[in-house]
């Protein structure tokens, strides 16, 4: 599992809300951590706060951007089914023994969750964190939830039922066989807002690619690439990036120098990468691509693209069209050859 900068921000904010000093508690490092490390942190968090609503409060304060690339990939999903598949595949709460599953029962879609471990002092911590976070994300995707939505939990309540309902925003009941969220399945394949955005599908694919590519997450430079791509074109300055990583700008510059890169080079790498993808996979004009990548002047974008790739944006797109046309012709010729050979084979055997 991995800790995104947004998670640390939520931990910090909630600790302050309940009257604790975040500096007095060792927050987890940003980046990949082991399940044992996360469990240890969760248990220390529970012991330090002794707040019964802690997990519910943490989950309900999260928004999709909190989850880094996973959240941005979900925001770019065409449907709730696609969003659910991303959650199932990449959720940091899967763990070695954890399981997230989407199933269907009659007219209902059912999202069930088996936590990877129990947190000492708060055995239902992960369940409450998961469903509070999922419901917050779901409202962000589709707005108010249908009245028939509900949460079923496989344990006795430790707080008044109304407390759970206040955080979940839907009906909740207890002592079931599984922990699950249930809602009508008529919304599962309905297009989400991102379905009508030309770059959304390309963006989702790139987020998934980075989520799969563990090499892209190695080192501080990898974390910054994830953060910058997750900014969706609003590239943060070095000071903002340092703040999100909970370090000084001087420390960030020094650590990047140790890895042999600069912040500017990382931003340019991401811009160059996205520029290729936008020009290849979307019908956006060169001016639109320049604007998406934060260039105030399209001429500056053209100069930057030529510096990155040795060719102008228009020539790059033309070369792709010619390549596709050539591939189609070759494919057509091969199909003709197959048909000719088949006809000859038929004649020979008459």
DSSP state of 170: S
Q: How confident is the model at residue 274 (pLDDT cuts 50, 70, 90)?
A: confident
**DSSP annotation string for 259-288:** TT--HHHHHHHHHHHHHHHHHHH----HHH
Distance CA 246, CA 111 (A): 34
Out of 193, 227, 246, a domain closes at 193
- 204 within domain boundaries: no
Which pLDDT does position 184 carry in this prediction? 94
> Measured between alpha carbons, how far is 255 from 237 in angstroms, rounded to an integer?
16
61 vs 77: which has the higher pLDDT = 61
In this structure, the answer to whether residues 46 and 69 fall within a common structural domain is yes
For position 245, what pLDDT does the model report? 83
Q: Pick from 127, 161, 193: which residue ends a domain? A: 193
Question: Do 262 and 328 share a structural domain?
Answer: no
Residue 230 and residue 189 share a domain = no
What pLDDT shows up at residue 233? 58
Q: How far apart are CA 180 and CA 114, in angstroms?
A: 9
Same domain, 184 and 236: no
Residue 48, pLDDT above cutoff 50: yes
Residue 53, pLDDT above cutoff 60: yes
For residue 328, pLDDT over 50 is answered with: no
Residue percentage of the chain with pLDDT more than 90 = 43
Q: Which span out of 11-25, 118-132, 263-277, 298-312 was modeled with the highest average pLDDT? A: 118-132
Helices (H), the chain: 5-17, 35-49, 54-60, 68-75, 80-90, 125-142, 161-168, 200-212, 219-230, 238-244, 249-258, 263-281, 286-292, 298-309, 313-348
Dump pLDDT digits (tens) for 167-201.
999 999 999 999 999 999 998 999 988 766 666 66
Report yes or no on 275 lying in a domain: yes
- Rounded to the nearest angstrom, the gap between the alpha carbon of residue 318 and the centroid of all alpha carbons in its chain is 32
Does residue 202 form part of some domain?
A: no
| Cα 187 from Cα 244, distance rounded (Å) | 35
In Å, how far from its chain's centre is CA 234?
Answer: 16
Same domain, 48 and 180: yes
User: Could you give phi then psi for residue 171, rounded to 5 degrees?
Assistant: -60, 145
Measured CA to CA in angstroms, residue 25 lies from 11, 59, 78, 208, 343 at distances of: 10, 19, 40, 33, 78
| Whether residue 185 is found in the same domain as residue 258 | no
Domains identified in the chain, total number: 3
Same domain, 301 and 333: no
Q: Residue 106: how many CA atoms within 13 Å on its side-chain side?
A: 3
Mean pLDDT taken over the chain: 83
Check whether residue 133 and residue 261 sit in a common domain.
Answer: no
The mean pLDDT of 76-83, rounded to a whole number, is 89
CB 176 within 8 A of CB 152: yes
47 and 124 both lie in a single domain: yes
| pLDDT score of 321 | 67
Over residues 214-261, the pLDDT tens digits come to 444 467 887 788 777 766 556 888 998 888 888 899 999 999 998 888
Q: Rounded to two decimals, what is the model's pTM?
A: 0.68
Average pLDDT over residues 59-81: 86
- Is 22's pLDDT higher than 90? no
Amino acid 232: pLDDT? 58
In-domain check, residue 245: yes
Q: What is the mean pLDDT of residues 152-158?
A: 96
Domain assignment present for residue 266? The answer is yes
Q: How many other C-beta atoms can be found within 10 angstroms of the C-beta atom of residue 33?
A: 17
Whichever domain contains 303, its CATH number is: 1.10.10.60
Pair 31, 143 in one domain: yes
Range of the domain at 283: 213-310
Q: 344: pLDDT confidence band, cut at 50, 70 and 90?
A: very low
Q: Answer yes or no: do 174 and 223 share one domain.
A: no
Distance CA 300, CA 50 (A): 55
Domain assignment of residue 288, yes or no: yes
The verdict on residue 200 lying in a domain is no
| Domain-embedded: residue 208 | no
Strand 99-105: give its sheet, edge to edge. 99-105, 108-114, 180-184, 150-152, 171-173
Domain CATH for 59:
3.90.1520
Residues 269, 183, single domain; the answer is no
């Amino acid at each position: 599992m991995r800790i995104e900068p947004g998670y640390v921000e939520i931990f910090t904010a909630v600790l302050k809300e309940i009257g604790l000093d975040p500096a007095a508690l060792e927050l987890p490092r940003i980046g990949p951590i082991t399940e044992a490390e996360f469990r240890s942190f969760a248990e220390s968090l529970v012991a330090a706060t002794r707040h019964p609503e802690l997990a519910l409060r943490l989950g309900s304060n999260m928004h999709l951007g909190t989850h880094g690339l996973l959240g941005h990939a979900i925001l770019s999903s065409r449907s709730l089914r696609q969003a659910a598949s991303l959650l199932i595949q990449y959720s940091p709460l899967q763990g070695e023994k954890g399981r997230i599953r989407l199933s269907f029962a009659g007219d209902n879609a059912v999202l069930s969750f088996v936590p990877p471990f129990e947190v000492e002092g708060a055995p239902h911590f992960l369940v409450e964190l998961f469903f509070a976070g999922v419901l917050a994300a779901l409202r962000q995707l589709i707005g108010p939830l249908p009245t028939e939505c509900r949460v079923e939990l496989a344990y006795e309540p430790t707080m008044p039922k109304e407390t759970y309902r206040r955080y979940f925003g839907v009906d909740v009941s207890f002592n079931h066989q599984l922990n699950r969220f249930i809602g009508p399945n008529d919304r599962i394949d309905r297009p989400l807002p991102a379905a009508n955005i030309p770059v959304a599908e390309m963006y989702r694919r790139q987020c998934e690619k980075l989520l799969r590519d563990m090499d892209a997450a190695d080192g501080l430079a990898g974390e910054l690439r994830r953060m910058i791509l997750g900014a969706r074109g609003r590239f943060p300055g070095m000071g903002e990036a340092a703040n999100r990583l909970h370090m000084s700008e001087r420390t960030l510059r020094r650590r990047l120098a140790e890895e042999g890169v600069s912040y500017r080079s990382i931003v340019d790498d991401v811009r160059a990468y996205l520029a290729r993808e936008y020009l290849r996979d979307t019908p956006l004009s060169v001016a639109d691509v320049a604007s998406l990548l934060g260039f105030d002047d399209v001429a500056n974008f053209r100069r930057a693209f030529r510096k990155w790739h040795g060719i102008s944006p228009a020539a790059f797109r033309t070369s792709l069209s010619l390549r596709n046309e050539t591939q189609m012709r070759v494919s057509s010729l091969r199909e003709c050859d197959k048909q000719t050979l088949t006809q000859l084979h038929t004649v020979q055997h008459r």
